């Protein structure tokens, strides 16, 4: 096996086996995520990123989380790009151990994306740092107040995509994708909750043309809640589907 694949696979294995010996409370949920991403090329190396994710539980009946993200991409070269921006998330009560009330989160993020093809397979590595301001909503005397806690988090995602009928026009191209992303908390205020979550997805992609692409498939999310119940960690095992639409517009042309 090539050395460049050993570290990503080791991280994936670690994310699945971490904390396996610790007694925990399990919470199983059915999820459905609908996502939109838009990339708008403004100059040869600069583009604007827009994104919204509509995350639901119980067959889309109830909210899990809403996520809005925007940022600026800069292509250092063809296979390396950097990105920075802002995201807002709102997480809602759900599952067997829900939070008391929905809470907001503001994020600033920086990331590097490295493309590393291997044969016919397109492989990319994404390294992300997040500065998170996580809110805790308290209702006193009928008034609502929000206190924020600062948290650091780093993320690593490996994404592999195998085109099934690639062509020069990049039209009507089918592909299969496997991706895994691990989230690790660090710094002050993290406590024992170092492992944050892991996401694993197996998707089928259809690229209509250079402007529009669709992805649909299976999504698995293992998430450790920030709170403990009876001094035990709470792990969510969320399984369901992901449907994503990607729009790319080149204003330079």
Q: List the pLDDT tens digit at each of the 253 positions of the chain.
A: 444 554 555 555 554 444 444 588 999 999 999 999 999 999 999 999 999 999 999 989 999 999 999 999 999 999 999 999 999 999 999 999 999 899 999 999 999 999 999 989 999 999 999 999 999 988 777 788 899 999 999 999 999 999 999 888 889 999 999 999 999 999 888 876 799 999 999 999 999 999 999 999 999 999 999 888 888 999 999 999 999 999 999 999 7
Cα 202 to Cα 176: distance, rounded to the nearest angstrom: 8
Q: What is the pLDDT of residue 6?
A: 46
Six-digit token string for 30: 């059915």
Q: What is the pLDDT of residue 19?
A: 47
Q: What is the pLDDT of residue 10?
A: 52
Question: From its phi and psi, is residue 211 left (phi > 0), alpha (psi between -120 and 50) or beta?
Answer: alpha
**CA 135, chain centre distance (Å):** 20
Q: What is the pLDDT of residue 8?
A: 54
In which residue are the tokens 């090329």 written? 41
Q: What is the pLDDT of residue 7?
A: 53
Q: Report whether 220 contacts 200 (CB < 8 A).
A: yes
How many folded domains does the chain comprise?
1
Q: What is the pLDDT of residue 148?
A: 95
Specify the CATH number for the domain of residue 30.
2.40.160
- Where does the chain show beta strands of DSSP type E? 25-41, 46-57, 62-77, 80-91, 103-115, 122-140, 143-163, 173-186, 195-207, 212-229, 232-250
Domain assignment of residue 112, given as a range: 3-250
pLDDT tens string 205-221: 999 999 999 999 999 99
Give pTM, 2 decimals. Answer: 0.89
Q: Report whether 54 contacts 35 (CB < 8 A).
A: yes
Q: What is the pLDDT of residue 169?
A: 83
Q: What is the pLDDT of residue 14?
A: 52
Q: What is the pLDDT of residue 228?
A: 87
């Amino acid at each position: 096996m090539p050395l460049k694949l050993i570290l990503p696979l080791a991280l994936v294995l670690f994310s699945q086996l971490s904390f396996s010996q610790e007694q925990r409370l399990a919470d199983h949920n059915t999820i459905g995520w609908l996502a939109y991403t838009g990339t708008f090329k403004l100059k040869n190396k600069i583009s604007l990123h827009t994104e919204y994710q509509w995350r639901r539980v119980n067959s889309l009946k109830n909210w899990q989380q809403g996520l809005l993200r925007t940022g600026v991409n800069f292509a250092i070269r063809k296979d390396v790009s950097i990105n920075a921006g802002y995201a807002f998330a709102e997480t809602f009560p759900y599952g067997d151990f829900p939070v008391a009330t929905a809470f907001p989160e503001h994020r600033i993020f920086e990331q590097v994306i490295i493309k590393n093809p291997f044969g016919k397979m397109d492989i990319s590595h994404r390294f992300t740092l997040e500065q998170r301001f996580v809110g805790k909503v308290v209702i006193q005397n009928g008034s609502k107040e929000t206190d924020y806690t600062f948290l650091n988090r780093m993320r690593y995602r490996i994404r592999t995509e195998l085109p099934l009928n690639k062509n020069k026009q990049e039209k009507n191209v089918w592909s299969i994708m496997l991706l895994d992303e691990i989230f690790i908390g660090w710094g002050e205020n993290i406590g024992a909750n170092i492992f944050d979550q892991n996401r694993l997805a197996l998707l089928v992609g259809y690229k209509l043309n250079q402007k529009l692409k669709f992805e649909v498939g299976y999504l698995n999310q293992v998430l450790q809640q920030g709170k403990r119940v009876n001094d035990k960690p709470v792990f969510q095992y969320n399984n369901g589907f992901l449907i994503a639409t990607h729009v790319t517009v080149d204003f330079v042309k």
